[in-house]
């Protein structure tokens, strides 16, 4: 078991290592990009990577407070589902309405890798191998898809 500080340090160390590893990788547009804090440039649409003690996940989260707008975004993603899955070369889990631990309601499209821990440095290559191709594929998808969202609001 790790102390809170040790766990925080390990998380920080992993994400720093991942950021350095991904640093030389350009975006699909050939630009330098912050892969860890990917900026979609569409309000309340995020690409999130998470790694914990038992699993890792990567997700598209739709976090607008207005359920109607969030539904509109989700429906737009559904329109692009075939393109998304073709770009990712796999299917992800679609959740239209979920409630987070803090009480916020969001929608998300996610892929999870079970049986890995950010606290086990021997599994970091597995985590990187999970995140890298998926965040790159999301970037490639988003280069074409983001224009469908910019005019929605």
- Contact (Cβ atoms closer than 8 angstroms) between residue 48 and residue 35: no
Q: At what angle do helices 81-88 and 124-145 cross, to 10 degrees?
A: 140
pTM (2 d.p.):
0.93
Average pLDDT over residues 62-89: 96
102-135 residue pLDDT tens: 999 999 999 999 999 999 999 999 999 999 999 9
- Please give the structure tokens belonging to residue 75: 């429906």
Domain that holds residue 101: 4-150
Domains identified in the chain, total number: 1
């Amino acid at each position: 078991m790790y102390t809170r500080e040790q766990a925080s340090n390990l998380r920080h160390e992993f994400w720093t290592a991942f950021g350095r590893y991904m640093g030389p990788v350009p975006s699909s547009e050939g630009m330098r990009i912050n892969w860890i804090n990917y900026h979609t440039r569409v309000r309340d649409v995020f690409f999130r990577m998470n790694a914990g003690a038992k699993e890792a996940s990567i997700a598209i989260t739709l976090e607008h407070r207005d359920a109607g707008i969030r539904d509109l975004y989700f429906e737009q993603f559904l329109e692009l589902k075939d393109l998304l899955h073709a770009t990712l070369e796999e299917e992800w889990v679609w959740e239209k309405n979920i409630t987070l631990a803090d009480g916020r309601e969001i929608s998300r499209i996610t892929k999870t890798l079970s049986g890995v821990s950010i606290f086990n440095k021997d599994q970091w290559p597995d985590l990187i191998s999970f995140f890298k191709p998926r965040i790159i594929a999301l970037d490639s998808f988003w280069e074409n898809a983001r224009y469908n969202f910019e005019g929605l609001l």
